[in-house]
A and B are shown apart, each in its own frame.
Chain A
Amino acid sequence: MARKTVEGSFAVAEAVRNCEPDVAACYPITPSTHVAEELANYYADGELKEYITTESELSSMSACIGASAAGSRTVTVTSGQGFALMHEAVYCAAGMRLPIVMIVGNRALSAPLNIWGDWQDAVTERDSGWIQFYCENSQEALDTVPQAYKVAEATLLPAMVCMDGFYITHAVEPVEIPGKEEIRKYLPPFNPKVRLDPDNPVSMGEYALPSHYQQFRQDLHEDLLAAEKIVRDANGGYAAQFGRSYGDGTIEEYKSGDADYVFVSMGSICGNAKEAVDALRAKGEKAGLVRIRLFRPFPYDALAKALSGKKSVGVFEKSYDLGALAPLCSDVSASIALLKGDRPALSSFIGGLGGKDVTVAHVSEMLAKIKQGKTLTEWI
C-alpha cells in the first residue's frame, strides 16, 4: 500500500498498472491524457507488458477487443470526442462479452467544442451493455479499478470507471494505492475459458440472423442486471481486505436515512453535496444525499428503498437527453415508481455542463428548492 499525494490521473494509472493488464491501447485526449501518458511511462520502464499507441480511440477500443479475445487483461482510456469516436466498438466489446476495463475522464461532447467535464460522453453510452461506475474522488476512482476488473471478469462484461474530467483527473489529493501483491490477493488472474487459441479453434464475433440476434441482446441485459449483486460483493470483498467501501457498492446513502428531502447525484459533485447537507443538518434540517455509484446496471430497488418515505427528491446531473427527461432523473423516476403509497415529489436539475462550476452554494440552493416539494426542471 503506497500512500502519496498525487493527481487523480496518476493515482488511477498506478492502480491500473497494479492490476497487471497485459495490454494497454491508448490515444491521447484531454482530460484523460495523463492516464495514457503515465501508462506509457510504465511501459517505458518495463512495468507494463504491452502498450499500443493507436491512431484513434476507435482503434484503441478495437485493439482491446483483439487483446481481450486473445485472453489478455486489457485497458484503455478516453474522454469526450474520443469516447464518441469509439461508439461502434463500445457496443461490440459488450456484445462479444469481452471484460475490457476503460478509464473515462468525463468530458462534454461537441458542438460547440469543449474540453471540460460533464458526463454526457459516458451517459450517452448507457445502452451499450457496459457496467458504469461513477466515482466521487481520486481514492474511489483508483479503488474502483480492481473492483471493475473483478466484476468484469466474473461476468464477462466490460466496465468503465468514470471520473469527472479535471475535478478528479487533475485534482491532487492524498490517496492510498494498493500494491500488486495486495491486488493479486483480491483479483485472480484473467483466464477465460473461450479465447483465440489455435489448439482449440473458436469463432468469435459471428453475425446473427433475426432468429438469434435478439436472444444475444436479452442475455446481455439479464447478465448485466445480475451483475449488480457481483458489484456489491466486489465492494464488500474490497472493504474486507482494504478497509474502504463505497456504500453498498451501488449507492451510498449520506445522512438520508431520516431525511425528509434528498439530493440525488453521481460523481465529484457529491463532495459538495455532503458539505451542503452537513450545513443544513447543523441547522436541524432533515436533508440528505443519495449518491449513485453504479449507473449501469441501474440499482432500481436499492434506490427505491433509499428514497422510500421521503417527501421530496431532486436529481442533479451533468447529462441530458435533449427533448426528453434527463437520463439520471428518468432512472430515478422509474425507481420511485416502484414505491407503494405516497411517492416523493421529483425535481430534475441539469448543470455543470462543459465544466460550468457548481459550488456548495448551488447545491444548497437546489436543496432549498427540493425542500419545497414541487416538481421542477431547472438548468443550473
Chain B
Amino acid sequence: MAYEPLFSAGHTACAGCPMPTVIRQVLEATGPDVVVVNATSCSEIISSAYPRSAWRVPYVHSLFENPPAVASGVVRALRAQGNGHTTVLVVAGDGSTYDIGFGALSGMLERNEDVLYVCYDNEAYMNTGVQRSGATPYGARTTTSPVGRVHRGKELSKKPIVEIVAAHRVPYAASASIGHPQDLAAKVKKAMGIRGSRFIDVFSPCIPGWGIPSDSAIRYAKLAVETGLWRLSEYEHGEFKLNVKPSPRKPVKEYFAGQARFRHLKDEDVAKIQAMTDEEWKKLG
C-alpha cells in the first residue's frame, strides 16, 4: 500500500524545510481522529491555499494569535457533543507561541484545556521574511535584529518557553527536535496518553531564514543538541527529565559554522555564547 500521510504531498514548503516532517511525525502519532487548529504561519501558507488543502484531517485556521483559544472552543464543543475521543492539536510557529499568542497560550494552560500544542520552533518570523521573535537565540541576525555599527544581531536570549509552560503546572511540557524523530514520536505518543494541556516545542531549522543549505536541516538540528544549544527534555507532571545529555558537548562554534545568521559573530562573541551555554548546563548538573 502506498504511503498516504495525513499531511499530504503537494504542499509548498521550501526545499529541505523540515516543518512538514514535524507535522507528519506528530500526525503519525495522533492518527486520523484529530482536529488540527493552525496558527497563521508558514505551516498555514504552505498547506491551505483555497481551494486546495494538504490536510487529510479536519483543519481550522483563523488568526495568528488565537489558536489556543480556538482549540479551547473546539475541545469544549466536542465535549458538549459527547465526543470524548478526538484529539485537538494546535500547530503553531514560535512567533505565535512565544509572542503574539502568548497570552492566549497562558490562558489555555491555566484552564488546563485538553489540547496537545505543538510549536515548530524555527527561531524567528520566517513567514514574513526573517524577523526576530522571542524564540530567536542570542547573537542571531534577523531583519529586525540586524548587524549594524552599534548593535550586532539579537542581544537578548531566547525565552525558556518549556519552563514557562511547565510553570503553569500542566501535566506535560517537552522540547524535542526534528533531528531526533524517534524522541519526538515517543513524546507525542506519551502526550497522547495524558489528558489536559500538553506542550511540545520542536526545533525545526529554516533553510532561507538561517541561510543554510537545503540538505542541512537535520544536520543542524542534531548539532544544536550536540553543542547543548538545544536540549531534549520534558516535564511530566512537573518532574524534569533530560532526555539526551551530550557528553562531551561539541563546541558551539561547530553549530554556528555555515549559518548565515551567525556569520558576523567574532571569536569573542562565540566565546561569550560558549560561556553562557556552559553556565546553563552547569545548572542542569
* Chain A residues in the interface with B (C-beta under 8 A): 22-23, 25, 49-50, 52-56, 58-60, 62-72, 74, 88-89, 92, 96, 196-198, 200-209, 212
B62 touches A92 (CB 8 A): yes
A59 touches B104 (CB 8 A): yes
The yes or no answer to B110 lying at the interface (CB within 8 A) is yes
A209 cross-chain contacts in B, Cβ below 8 A: 49-50
B65 touches A198 (CB 8 A): no
Chain B 63-93, CB within 8 Å of chain A: the 1/0 string?
Answer: 1011011111111111111000010000000
CA distance A197 to B110 in the complex (A): 27
B76 touches A23 (CB 8 A): yes
The yes or no answer to B106 lying at the interface (CB within 8 A) is yes
What are 6 inter-chain pairs, A to B, with CB distance below 8 A? A50-B76, A50-B79, A50-B80, A58-B104, A92-B63, A206-B48
B60, B72, B86: the one within 8 Å of A63 (CB) = B72
CA distance A202 to B56 in the complex (A): 8
In the complex where A55-B104, A196-B35 touch, is A25 in contact with B61 (Cβ < 8 A)? no
Shortest distance from the beta carbon of B273 to any chain A beta carbon, whole Å: 35
Chain B 17-59, CB within 8 Å of chain A: the 1/0 string?
Answer: 0000000000000001111010000001100111101011111
The yes or no answer to B111 lying at the interface (CB within 8 A) is yes
CA distance A277 to B98 in the complex (A): 58
In the complex where A52-B111, A88-B63, A201-B58 touch, is A207 in contact with B104 (Cβ < 8 A)? no
Shortest distance from the beta carbon of B7 to any chain A beta carbon, whole Å: 12
A66 touches B111 (CB 8 A): no
Q: Which residue of A lies closest to B103 (CB)?
A: A55
B78 cross-chain contacts in A, Cβ below 8 A: 70
The 7 A-B residue pairs with the shortest CB-CB distance in the complex, in nearest-first order? A66-B73, A55-B107, A59-B69, A62-B69, A63-B73, A72-B77, A67-B73
B63 touches A49 (CB 8 A): no
Contact count band on B = 35 or more
B76 cross-chain contacts in A, Cβ below 8 A: 22-23, 49-50, 52, 63, 67, 72
B32 cross-chain contacts in A, Cβ below 8 A: 198, 201
In the complex where A66-B37, A71-B81 touch, is A206 in contact with B49 (Cβ < 8 A)? yes
Shortest distance from the beta carbon of B49 to any chain A beta carbon, whole Å: 6
B74-133 contacts to A (CB < 8 Å): 74-81, 86, 103-104, 106-107, 110-111
Q: Which residue of B lies closest to A209 (CB)?
A: B49
B77 cross-chain contacts in A, Cβ below 8 A: 22-23, 50, 66-68, 70-72, 74
CA distance A204 to B53 in the complex (A): 10
A66 touches B74 (CB 8 A): yes
A54 touches B61 (CB 8 A): no
CA distance A60 to B104 in the complex (A): 10
Q: Which residue of B lies closest to A98 (CB)?
A: B62
B107 touches A196 (CB 8 A): no
B37, B63, B71, B111: the one within 8 Å of A89 (CB) = B63
A23 touches B49 (CB 8 A): no
Shortest distance from the beta carbon of A19 to any chain B beta carbon, whole Å: 14
Shortest distance from the beta carbon of A81 to any chain B beta carbon, whole Å: 15
CA distance A262 to B72 in the complex (A): 49
A198 touches B34 (CB 8 A): yes
A70 cross-chain contacts in B, Cβ below 8 A: 35, 73-74, 77-78, 81
CA distance A115 to B206 in the complex (A): 47
Q: Which residue of B lies closest to A58 (CB)?
A: B66
A203 touches B62 (CB 8 A): no
A22 touches B107 (CB 8 A): no
A53 cross-chain contacts in B, Cβ below 8 A: 111
B63 cross-chain contacts in A, Cβ below 8 A: 62, 88-89, 92
CA distance A60 to B74 in the complex (A): 12
B111 cross-chain contacts in A, Cβ below 8 A: 52-53
B104 touches A62 (CB 8 A): yes
B45, B57, B80: the one within 8 Å of A49 (CB) = B80
From B57, B65, B77, B80, residue with most partner A Cβ within 10 Å = B77
A64, A88, A201, A206: the one within 8 Å of B73 (CB) = A64
A72 cross-chain contacts in B, Cβ below 8 A: 76-77, 80-81
A212 touches B51 (CB 8 A): yes
CA distance A53 to B110 in the complex (A): 10
In the complex where A58-B65, A58-B66, A62-B63 touch, is A198 in contact with B104 (Cβ < 8 A)? no
B180-227 contacts to A (CB < 8 Å): none
A23, A59, A203: the one within 8 Å of B107 (CB) = A59
Given contacts A88-B63, A96-B62, 16 further A-B contacts (CB under 8 A): A49-B76, A56-B103, A58-B66, A59-B103, A63-B72, A65-B66, A70-B73, A92-B62, A196-B35, A200-B58, A201-B55, A203-B48, A204-B58, A206-B48, A206-B61, A207-B48
